[in-house]
Amino acid sequence: MPDSWQKAYKELQDFIAAHPEVVIERGRVSIPNDTRGEFYQSFDTVREAFVDEKYPALPVEVVTLSDSYNKVERAIIELLKLESISILTAIQSFLHNPKQGLMREIYNNLFDLLQGKIEVGTFEQEASRKIDIRVRDFCKWGYEMWLVLSLLKLLEPEKAYQLILDTSSTNHLEETKNISVGQERPYAVSMLPDFIVYSNKVGKYVALKSELRMHIDRYYGQAVEPEERKGPTDIPTGFGSRVLIVHFIENPENIILADSDTGKITNPEVAIECLEQKELHDVTSVDEVKHRHELLKPRLGTYLVFREPVSKISLDETSDNIHFLEVGLDQSKLESIISLPTKEL
């Protein structure tokens, strides 16, 4: 229905006008408890109507990714008897419920409109652009999270552990019922695994770390300042494309992946990156892939995983130990990575 979000917005404005105790203006927001529930119900109706107008039907790639991620997440929670799996909140919200995830992203934009900081036309333009950007980025980053959990499932894990770095600089494993992927940890100078599992499939401990591509230099190369993203995308800290670093290990308590203070580096067995076709046609992107491969020096190789079919000609085939995997959302196509330890270690 045309202009349905504006009709919902008019109803929200009428509600605020009928409740003078609700104050929303530049520099001040006050919503009393007895009207808070009704206010946010109307506020959410506006956001939902806007997203519905933008995407009357969600793109197929969004729906299939959401379904696949939620399926593997439930399987891992049941398999390891976990209480939770945590990834970056905005991405997890999008994967659990794409429409609500997109509604979440325009929360501040709608408040800016209510407070008179922007006009209706500006709201439409900025919120629409933000939704387009989030769909693109969250599909890419969400696919990376699907890959982590899919690989974990194929490992046939027995228990999940967290590596604790004590103040005495000694390490110990602690069984955990809550695993997190790609979250910042308090040890700024040390790259520790996100989590460790004992794999029945491999017969070893496996340490996994999902690290931002731009942070690889911090630990494995010369520290550099991350490039600013071009354009007003207002992507929060912690978001970006990642490298999955995989270690197959006998004694997990000795594993610190890298320490920027001491220069200690433990090169992984495998590095995995999710790429898109367009990145293979970009000289800078290809050079960065090779650069990270040279820094990490994964003993069994770097694996470039693709959701869509790609042309392998785009990457210099002389790049030693860099491999292509066209996976889509088929977990079984990751089996070749899981079989590496039994073949080559």
- The DSSP-derived string for 127-193 is HHHHHHHHHHHHHHHHHHHHHHHHHHHHT-EEEEEEEEE-TTS-EEEEE-SEEESS---S-TTEE--
The answer on pLDDT for 206 being more than 70 is: yes
Pair type for strands 178-180 and 84-86: parallel
Indicate the average pLDDT of the chain.
Answer: 86
Domain ranges of the chain: 4-136, 155-344
Cα–Cα distance for residue pair 326/200, rounded to 1 Å: 26
Partners of 29 in the beta sheet? 24
Partners of 157 in the beta sheet? 199
Residue 55 C-beta-side C-alpha neighbours within 13 Å: 23
- pLDDT category of residue 75 using cuts at 50, 70 and 90: very high
Per-residue pLDDT averaged across 138-145, rounded?
96
Partners of 205 in the beta sheet? 198, 249
Classified as helix, coil or strand, 78 is: helix
Give the angle subtended at the CA of 81 by the CAs of 75 and 84, to the nearest 5°.
Answer: 80
Give the angle subtended at the CA of 262 by the CAs of 300 and 178, to the nearest 5°.
Answer: 65
Of the candidate ranges 100-109, 161-170, 176-185, 283-292, the one whose mean pLDDT is the lowest: 161-170
- Which of 144, 150, 190, 134 is CA-nearest to residue 167? 190
pLDDT score recorded for residue 189: 46
**pLDDT (tens digit, 9 = 90+) per residue, 224-266?**
343 443 333 444 556 889 999 999 988 776 676 666 666 667 8
The answer on pLDDT for 219 being more than 90 is: no
Q: DSSP label at 257?
A: -
Cα–Cα distance for residue pair 50/110, rounded to 1 Å: 10
Which amino acid is located at 239 in the chain? F
**pLDDT (tens digit, 9 = 90+) per residue, 31-74?**
999 999 999 999 999 999 999 999 999 999 999 999 999 999 99
The answer to whether residues 22 and 31 touch, using CB atoms and an 8 Å cutoff, is yes
pLDDT score recorded for residue 224: 38
Residue 110 in tokens: 């709608």
Backbone angles phi, psi at 202, to 5 degrees: -95, -25
pLDDT score recorded for residue 223: 42
